Every structure is written in structure tokens, then in C-alpha cells.
Structure 1
């Protein structure tokens, strides 16, 4: 592993590693570095890690675990990049007419995380966030923007800064069965199919069916797979219901020669006629494995580029236990206690 170097608190190590795995995925997964090595222990929990390959620094992170096996001389550790702190910290927040970038900067500021490249703000956001992770809170803000412009955003860490990147970015990578693909597989499934969404509304403690969105072709071919969605004011409920529909899930995996440009969230070109994988595909997850003098990748491909979304509790729904004169009421839930009625009308 002459080309692999790892820096621990600034100190360089090389030629002691038996196996290094650098991996990541779309939809909120922090990038991870897993390392096995020989010799003296080189890490402590919390140490700063930099991983480089061919003199290019690919990963900045912090050690979360290290271990040793008694029957061997092999030691190991793993580290995450700093986007892990967005997943590991929950908040109590109420946002009123805040831009997505303002929400991002507020959360990152409290976690001492740098903010890097971000898209132009196109919406304002008003919502409470109770016991939600930093990742979920930021994601919800950019989901609101996604509903307006239909662009698909991911939250990633690049060079120790939190970036909001638009998916569908192409890299200069072409994988072929002739040159660099070792094995490939392709499968289809209806295990998670949703082909009808019923939109309902609760008014005066009565449920009312308002509308529905469906995939008529899938219903006819595979039978009914139905979910329900509560009506929300001031949003395009039909469009959101259509976003929830899931057709036949297609998945593919490729095992190929290593290339550092292959990373989750980016599109690559593939020509593999045996499985029918020909065209441009989004990398859903990537695993780069360095072992001995070999470097190879295991890749999962996505066939639909879908925005990762999180469902926040509706403020109106949280008010269902509002006091009524002359009637016994239940204890207020925590949203009402933290955000009294009318909080979102104040300026």
C-alpha cells in the first residue's frame, strides 16, 4: 500500500496497513474510514484523521472506535467525517420564515461546523423541530425548497465543511465490462411498492377522503399497495402524494477496479451489456477497498434519483388537545408546551 497514507493528529503513517476501506452513501450517511494495521497502536479515541491516496487527501475525520485482537497483531480503528455530528445531535427549534441557508448556518454554528458550498435560497421555512437531528432539520429545509424547484439536494462533508450539493453531477468515469468491471448484478422487486396514496382530512373529529394519487398501470399489473397521507394547508398535496408512489425497485451492484472519482451522489457512465446496465447511473453507495497492492470498488447504483425526505409533525395536528370549555382535556403534548398557539404569527 505504497500509495496509501494516513495522518493521525498530523503524523504520517504508511506501509503498515493491511486493509483500508473508505465508504459512503447518499441519504444522510457520513463517510467512514475503516483501517487495519500492524505494529504499535497509533490512535486514541477522538484523534484527527486524514486519509490520502496518491497524495490526494480524500477523507478528514475523527476516530470513533479502535480495537485490537489478542490472537493476532492486527489493530484496527474506524473514523467518520464531521457530517456525523449532524446525525448525532438532536435539537428543539422553532423556525419562522427562515431561509434554508439560515437554518443550515444556525445548526452548524451550534456544532462548530464550517459551512461550505450552498445553493441559492428560493423559499422561506416555518416549522417547529422537536427532538430532531441536525441532519433532519437541515434536510427538511431543503425538502421545502425541493418541492418548489424539484432539484434534489444532498448534505455532505467536503474538506471539513458541510456542503449542500445538487445531485445529478457527472464525473469523468466510464466503467465497461471490457476494461474495469469484474462482476455485476441486477435485480427487480415489488417488496416496497406503493401504487396508491389516499389523501384524507380530519375535521371536527371526522375523517374525510379528499383525493388520491395512483399508478394505475402498477395497480392493474401487481394489485393494490396503498398508503395514506394527511392533507396539509398551503402545499401541493397531489404532487407530494405522487412523490410517495413507488414502482418496481431496481437495484444493481458492480465490482470494479478502484477509482477515487466514484462516490455516492455522483453519476457515472456504465457499459455492461450482460446485465443490461448501459447508460448513466447515480452511485447510491460506494466502498473503496485497499488491500495489499490491490484497489477495487464495490458500488450500488440507483435507478431513481429521489430526494431524501423526513416527515415533521404538522403544527395543526399537534393542537388536537387544545382546551374546550366545559370539557375535560388531556395533558398538552410537548409541541404545545414549547410553542404556544400563535407563536408563528409573531414577528
Structure 2
């Protein structure tokens, strides 16, 4: 609030006003000193000439608008301020006016003094006022620069930051006044949030763990936290398993782990072919073809589902008679050589059986 001079109670704007109070206060003190001198001269019987000099000096000072800051209450609207100050008869460069704002503004503002016409109030950077710059019942000071009133103490330039660039809960000054940041602040979220165990968790369908916190700073949505997991590699993940979150497909096979591999199924002996037995003779037998395995079997057992007889057994260490290459035994026959039609590879096998057209159950093992 304004204060008053000691001798003649002239207005001295207070420190809370948006304005450099040192200049008008010095002016007010000058007026007060002149008036005190005049008072003392009258009391001591000064000459008429002395009094005229003092009166002329005071009149000159009062006639200079830039030497004063006039005060009045606003009686206008939100964006059209109106005040009445008797000494002001024209808009002169340097004219200073303080007023108590009646209504908070909602946009650009003008000031009309003594009906002399509305003059725009601008910020110090030349921009119009933004909504909410002038608060209700607050005192503001403006000075006329020849074309516009400039709001005093409004501040300097603003940067380019917006609410979207500021952490939520913090504020930033802008042309439109204070803005509250909108960037979500996830700082301080501790392990265990959202039900995740503090040291990770192993479940039937997933594994969860806490990523190391990143360094402090700004990250956009394309940023990632880099962490090295030395053993999370394809050769340590079961073959065929895909982890899409990290783009890894497993290559580890049961064979690499030294495990047994097995397969079973049914197949029909649709064809008949000639085979060579251990003595070199040709034998006409039914043929079973299985090519859906993902390993090369070392033991194959087939039996006829209709009679339950194990008709064929293959193992590379089997030998029938004195012929070490006759590794296939067909029920009721001599050993059959693994040659020609008969074969074993990484996808399955071709084996002779006793009955063409029969349905067989097979067991294939890799041991």
C-alpha cells in the first residue's frame, strides 16, 4: 500500500507495487522539501520575491508529468480500465499512473484516463497482456511511452518451455502467467510397485524383474534403459521358444543337454519294396515311412496294432548272424541291412515290416 510524506502527506508508492519505487519516492521527497522551505519562509517573513521563486519552482515540478506517479481506483471492466485523475489533461511521454485493479482481465487490456481515450497496456517486451495478468484488487503501475502504457515490474523475456516440458507439480512462468507442468513424475517408485516382487519373480508363464534405475535426466518415449544379462542368450533357451520382448529365439536342444529324445505315433505300411537280408538275398516286405521327427533315432520299434506283434526292431549295434550290417530284425525273417530303401536320418526313418497295408505303432528313441 502507498505511504505518505512527512510534511504534506504526498503519496509514496509501496514496495509491493510492480514499479521502481526509488524514483517517485525521491520526487515526493523533493516536493515535500520545497513545501517545507516555503512554510519556513512564510514563518520567518520572507520577501515576496523569495515566495515567488519558490512558487514558480513548485509549479514547474507539478507541471512535469514524468516526475510523478498519479494514483486512482479503476472503475472500468475486465479489459477496459477507466480512471479519473484531475491533474492529467493529456497523455505525455513518461506519464506514470498507479491504479487498483477492479476486475481480473481476460485478455488484452486498455486504460482510459480522464476520458482522453483508451490506450493499450503492454508488457515490457511489447506484447499485449495475457488473461489473468491483472489480479482483482491488486495495485499496478504503468508508464506512457508515447503510444502505449507499459506495465512496470512485469518482468523480462520468457523461454520456450511449456507445461508439457515441466515435471507435474512444478510451475513455470509464461506469457500467460504461471503454468503447472504435466510430465508424469515417476521418481521414487520403489521395487515391489504394482505387485512385482522386489527381486523379481518366477511364474508359470513369465519372469519379472526390476530394471536398474537410469541416470537422472530427461528421457523421451523412444529412450531405453540398457542392461546386460550375460546368460540370457539363444543357446541357453530351449529350441523353438521365442521371447518377443527381447527378440530372442531359443536354439538349445535336448540332445545338447544329453537328454533322451523320443517320439511315438501310428503309420500305415502303404507300399511294398525289396530289401536285402544279412545273407545278401532280396526279400519283399511292407514299408513304413516316418519323416516328422526332429532327431535321428538310434532305436526304432514297430508293432502291428491288429495283432500286437513287435514286427521290427532297429538298433545300430544289433547284428544278426555274422553280418554286422544287418541291424534290422523283422519278425520271422533274417536280419535286414540298413541300405537301399531302409534308412535312418535326422527327420525319421524308412523301415521294413512284415505286413503290407497294416497299421503300425512306432516308438523312436535317441539314446
TM, length-normalised to structure 1: 0.19
TM, length-normalised to structure 2: 0.18
Q: Which structure is higher in strand share?
A: 1
